[in-house]
Structure 1
Amino acid sequence: MTGRRRWSTEEILDEAANLLRTNEDADSFSVRKLAAVLGTDSSSLYRHFRSKTELLRAVADRILASAMEGYEPEGDWKQRITAVASRVREAFGRQPQLAAVWGRYASGGTGSRLVMEETLQALRASGLPDAEIPRTYHRLAVLLSALIASEAGITTVGSEEHEQGLELFRVATLGADPELFPALAHFARDVRPLGADRDAAFAELLAAQLRQIEASLPS
């Protein structure tokens, strides 16, 4: 009798990423389901990854690694950080279902190290004292992961659900009672839903964070 095929680590990660993109989220994803897709048993996958969390971290790390492919530092420190942030955003934009995995399951693989190294190097190039760099890096990482995961959550919503959300937003704003919500009623026609102007919002929030860092630099 022919034995079951032995899957490589890269092949397992490919199929896990595909399963997460098309059918699953981090909560419903399981090693058992992945094994069924591969036509094998869970124990064979646990030879490569000790747990579901370790597997998910590896999947997210590959997205980060792909974001850094071909990257070369250019420009000043702000341009370098902006370029890295844009690359990570674009990479998860192509696979938005995996953005939540990255935000939830911190990665320590090669991709994560590449992103961290370049960001830390750029912060050092800014002239920021070494004592301030880890905290500043953490603030940047929290901002970017939150923005990217939020954007991914919006882009994965189906068209019908999206329209329902827009209608609820219109009701909440245009129908606001000015006695109870005077500011909301005043700005109702100009306030925009979360899904609007994502490119501009991302760029402006990142730029504001970088300006704050720049303002704290020693004179």
Structure 2
Amino acid sequence: MTGRRRWSTDEILDAAAELLRTGDAESFSVRKLASALGTDSSSLYRHFRSKTELLRAVADRVLLAAMDGHQAEGDWKQRITALALRLRDAFGGQPQLAAVWGRYASSGTGSRLVMEEVLQALRASGLPDEEIPVRYHRLAVLIASLIAHEAGAGSITPQEQEQGMELFRVAVLGADPARFPALAHFARDVRPLGADRRAAFEELLAAQLARIEAEVAPRRSPA
């Protein structure tokens, strides 16, 4: 009698990534993954101790691919900006995996490469070492949140997008001026969350980096 096929870790992660492309982290389960592979859950738990550990590994593969061939260039702000845009592009075609990364984070080699680059760039900014961990964390939260939001907005179908736009127009243009005076005043200029995502991403990131630069500048000025 032929035994069940033994799946490698990479093959399991490939299958998990494919399920996440057509579903989401909420509906994803080890049982569904095992069924897709034609095996039982226990065989997968030999590779990953939990669903969360598996999801983190899937997200880390995206980070690892994004860092493949990456070369740090420019000043510290250019380095962080280039890295953030590189990560956004990597997750852009895999919106469900962006949501996974934003929710579960990662602890693999890909994550360590990203952390190393950001920490090195922040050290190059002139920040004292004791302030770098806090700044790193704020940047990481901002970048992960922006990527997850942009990817999520980009995953909706054209029909869903049009329905959302219609609901937005009704909610904004139909606002009662007596109850929502500011909204009524700006109604024709306010844009939905999905508009200008790329510009918003870069502007918010630039503002955070400018804040760090402003804190460093006085310390570099001659007395």
Structure 1, unmatched stretches of 5+, are none
- Give the corresponding residue for 1:10: 10
Counterparts of 2:154 and 2:197, CA distance in 1: 11
Instruction: Map residues 1-219 of structure 1 onto 2, 5 A cutoff.
Output: 1-22=1-22, 24-217=23-216, 218-219=219-220
- Displacement, 1:168? 1.0
Q: Which amino acid aligns with 2:64?
A: A
Residue type matched to 1:192 in 2?
A: R
Quick one: which amino acid aligns to residue 55 of structure 2? L
Structure 1 residue ranges (4+ consecutive) displaced by more than 6 angstroms after TM superposition: none
Matched residue type, 2:18 = N
Report the 3-state secondary structure (helix = DSSP H, G, I; strand = E; otherwise coil) of the residue aligned with 1:154.
helix
TM-score, structure 2 normalization: 0.96
Letter in 2 for 1:34: L
Aligned residues: 218
Structure 2: stretches of 5+ with no match in the other structure: none
Question: Aligned to 1:216, what secondary structure does the other structure show?
Answer: helix
Q: Name the CA distance, whole Å, in 1 between partners of 2:175 and 2:182.
A: 9
SS in 2 for 1:25: coil
Q: What is the aligned-residue RMSD (CA, Å)? A: 0.8
Q: Deviations over 1:142-186 (max 9, x none)?
A: 111111111111111122222111111101111111111111111
Q: Distance in 1 between matches of 2:79 and 2:111?
A: 16
- State the identity as a percent: 78
Structure 2: which amino acid aligns with 1:3?
G
Moved more, 170-179 or 54-63: 170-179
Query: Secondary structure in 1 aligned to 2:26?
Result: coil
CA deviation string 1:167-213 (max 9, x = no partner): 11101111111111111111111111111111111111111110001
Provide Cα deviations, 1:18-64, integer angstroms capped at 9, x if missing partner: 11002x21111011110111111111110000010100000001111
Q: Letter of the aligned partner of 1:14 in structure 2?
A: D
Distance 2:146 2:18 in 1: 23
What SS does the aligned partner of 1:112 have? helix
TM-score (norm 1): 0.97
Measure the CA separation in 2 of the matches of 1:108 and 1:115: 11
Opposite residue 7 of structure 2, the aligned amino acid is W
Letter in 1 for 2:182: A
Instruction: For 1:87, give the aligned amino acid.
Output: R
